[in-house]
Structure 1
Amino acid sequence: MFKNARLYRLHEPFPLAAAALEERLAARRFRPCGPLETATLGWTPPFRDGPDEHGRLVHASSGCLLICARRQERLLPGSVVTEALEERVSEIEGNEVRTVGRSERRRLREGILAELLPRAFTRSRRILAYLDTVAGWLVVDAASDKVAEDLVSLLRETLDSLPATPPRPPGVPATRMTDWLKGGRGPQGFELGDACELRDPRDTQSVIRCRGQDLAGEEIATHLRAGKQAVQLALDWHERLAFVLGEDLALKRLRLADELLEGAEEQDEEDPLVRFEAGFTLLAGELRGLIEELAQVFELTDQGAQTAPRAEDQAAAGQTR
């Protein structure tokens, strides 16, 4: 379900239960691009069973609220617009024997955009995320900061406020990950995987990417002695969840252990929605434990200064709003 996990610490207890959050998200439900719009962003159901976009916007499980944003954009390459503009300018200058000025070029460009946009193809992207109201984290399935910030900004606009920031550890994560590589082992509960990215802090263009590699071997040690640092590192958490940890504490290439997936599949539930929600419950539970241990390793436990409410208190808070 989630391939990535970008983390945002909630600095206050999240005040809304599922029903109240559903109501707020419905006010910003996704709509397709209009003829002259380059992009739209709104909320869409996390569970898709066909093309229907009118299902539930929030799925709740064990204090976690699953949501999904959808961004649609029109594909109109700048090179196409530039080529059409140059043809239009050449035609005017040739027929009227004059030079087209900057302001006129700008008006011509706007006119070309108005002509081409309605005929441009559209592309959509879904961004899953969930709010862990018990542990106090927002987790976004995004491979880049830009995509994650799109969802976080939309959520802030929808709720009017969302005190949440990426984790800021007191030390440098790359230094700690490099120490694990030098020692040939991860912290307690974490085993080194077989992939890493090493970078020279004095020359950011000097990068080594390794996959299928013995990270405790001499080849990696040679790069470390040359001064390179680990900025991405594959880890396995308690043989339950494998991932690649970045220097920004983002998780990529998430993969649940086969034993966990097989156990979920053995339930043999025919209802796709029930299977979807069971998969989310499994993933969110494992990520809650993983994030808790990462917070201890990187000393994030005091960040946010919040006391997470119990699930029953959270539900009561939502009913009294």
Structure 2
Amino acid sequence: MFKNARLFRLQDALGQDAMALEQQLSTRRFQPCGPLTLSTMGWSEPLGGESQALVHEAAGCLLICAKRQERLLPASVVAEVLEERVSDIETAEGRTVGRAERRQLKEAVTAELLPQSFTRSRRILAYVDTVAHWVVVDAASERMAEDLVSLLRETLGTLPASLLRPSVPPPTLMTRWVSEGRGEQGFELGDACELRDPKDKQSVVRCRGQDLAGDEIATHLQAGKQVTQLALEWEQRLSLVLAEDLSLKRLRLTDELIEDSGVLEADDPAARFDAEFTLLIHEMRGLLARLDGLFGLSGSDSAEVPW
């Protein structure tokens, strides 16, 4: 289900139940790109074709989905056609095309080619935990998460969500774990990490499939590098990669947990989805509470994310 998790703290209650949120999101339901539209973004069904609902509720969490579509018109294609048009004019009229005219030609070429371009769509899942007060976005990049939160704020008119501001710098704690060869409070070291020199951001070492307590990693730490990404397993229930911005990557429930939960026994796809989502919610609440305790998480000074 969720492969990534980018986290935002809710400073106040959302003030929306599933029905009210459904009504709000319906005002910004996803619409495909028009012939001259570069991109569009709106709310889509989190269960895909299984349901027309824009909100799926489970265990105090509201699952939502943003859908973004954009037209693929490479700049190189526009430039090639533009140069042909400019060359034709200069040859036919014996004059040089000026900057302003070139700009107008470029706009005309873009408008001509845009309706013929392909479109690409992507879905971004997120859920609002109304019990533990989190917004969790399944986005690989910060920009994608920001786009969804911005859309949610525009749809609702306001959103009391804030960026995380840890009192303990994540690289400091992760570096200590690796240097000691062990995690703490339920975390076990995995077999991958990223190390960076805080004085030289270009100096990066990425290790995967090796013993993090070995001599090679120790040498990098002694040279002053810090751990900025670290593969971990939490309580033998979740595996993940923790990044220095506290985003979670390669998030996966362990096979043992899934088998013990009975999720795989559900025959109906919707029932199985609901069971998986409920299981994920329960484990994520425990994980985020543990991260909160370790890093002393709080929101930014602003009551809302500043973008």
> Quick one: which amino acid aligns to residue 25 of structure 1?
L
Output the TM-score relative to the length of structure 1.
0.91
Kindly indicate whether residue 43 of structure 2 is the aligned counterpart of residue 43 of structure 1: yes
| 1:171 alignment partner, one of 153, 161, 168 | 168
| 1:283 alignment partner, one of 276, 280, 285 | 280
> Quick one: which amino acid aligns to residue 12 of structure 2?
E
* Alpha-carbon distance in structure 2 between the residues aligned to 1:128 and 1:96: 55
Aligned-pair CA distance for 1:104: 0.8
Output the TM-score relative to the length of structure 2.
0.95
| 2:77 alignment partner, one of 77, 80, 88 | 80
Alignment deviations for residues 207-234 of structure 1 (CA, whole Å, 9 cap, x no partner): 1001111111111000000011000001
C-alpha contact (below 8 Å) 1:28/1:43 kept by paired residues: yes
Aligned-pair CA distance for 1:259: 1.4
> Quick one: which amino acid aligns to residue 57 of structure 1?
L
Aligned-pair CA distance for 1:154: 0.4
C-alpha contact (below 8 Å) 1:187/1:297 kept by paired residues: no
* Alpha-carbon distance in structure 1 between the residues aligned to 2:108 and 2:76: 16
> Quick one: which amino acid aligns to residue 15 of structure 1?
G
* Alpha-carbon distance in structure 1 between the residues aligned to 2:163 and 2:6: 8
C-alpha contact (below 8 Å) 1:177/1:233 kept by paired residues: yes
Alignment deviations for residues 253-300 of structure 1 (CA, whole Å, 9 cap, x no partner): 001010122234566222211111111111111111100100000012
Identity rate, percent: 64
Alignment deviations for residues 168-204 of structure 1 (CA, whole Å, 9 cap, x no partner): 1123211111111111111211011100000111111
Alignment CA distance shift 1:265-1:120 (3 Å):
farther
Correspondence for 2:8: 8
C-alpha contact (below 8 Å) 2:258/2:264 kept by paired residues: no
SS of equivalent residue, structure 1 residue 283: helix
> Quick one: which amino acid aligns to residue 229 of structure 2?
Q
* Alpha-carbon distance in structure 2 between the residues aligned to 1:75 and 1:303: 37
| 2:55 alignment partner, one of 55, 58, 68 | 58
The unaligned stretches of length 5 or more in structure 1 are 306-321
SS of equivalent residue, structure 2 residue 128: strand
* Alpha-carbon distance in structure 2 between the residues aligned to 1:273 and 1:257: 21
SS of equivalent residue, structure 2 residue 81: helix
Correspondence for 1:151: 148
Alignment CA distance shift 1:303-1:100 (3 Å):
closer
Kindly indicate whether residue 124 of structure 2 is the aligned counterpart of residue 127 of structure 1: yes
Larger RCO, structures 1/2 (Cα 8 Å, 6+ apart): 1
| 2:112 alignment partner, one of 115, 119, 125 | 115
- Counterparts of 1:230-269 in structure 2, within 5 Å, are 230-265=227-262, 268-269=265-266
- Counterparts of 1:94-105 in structure 2, within 5 Å, are 94-105=91-102
C-alpha contact (below 8 Å) 2:10/2:161 kept by paired residues: yes
Correspondence for 2:305: none
Correspondence for 1:20: 20
* Alpha-carbon distance in structure 1 between the residues aligned to 2:179 and 2:41: 44
C-alpha contact (below 8 Å) 2:263/2:276 kept by paired residues: no
SS of equivalent residue, structure 2 residue 265: coil
Runs of 4+ in 1 over 6 A off after TM superposition: none
> Quick one: which amino acid aligns to residue 16 of structure 2?
L
The unaligned stretches of length 5 or more in structure 2 are 302-307
Correspondence for 2:139: 142
Aligned-pair CA distance for 1:7: 0.1
Correspondence for 1:89: 86
SS of equivalent residue, structure 1 residue 49: helix
Equivalent pairs counted in the alignment come to 301
Correspondence for 1:298: 295
Correspondence for 1:215: 212
* Alpha-carbon distance in structure 2 between the residues aligned to 1:181 and 1:142: 27
Aligned-pair CA distance for 1:166: 2.0
Q: CA RMSD in A?
A: 1.4
Correspondence for 1:206: 203
* Alpha-carbon distance in structure 2 between the residues aligned to 1:264 and 1:111: 58
> Quick one: which amino acid aligns to residue 299 of structure 1?
G
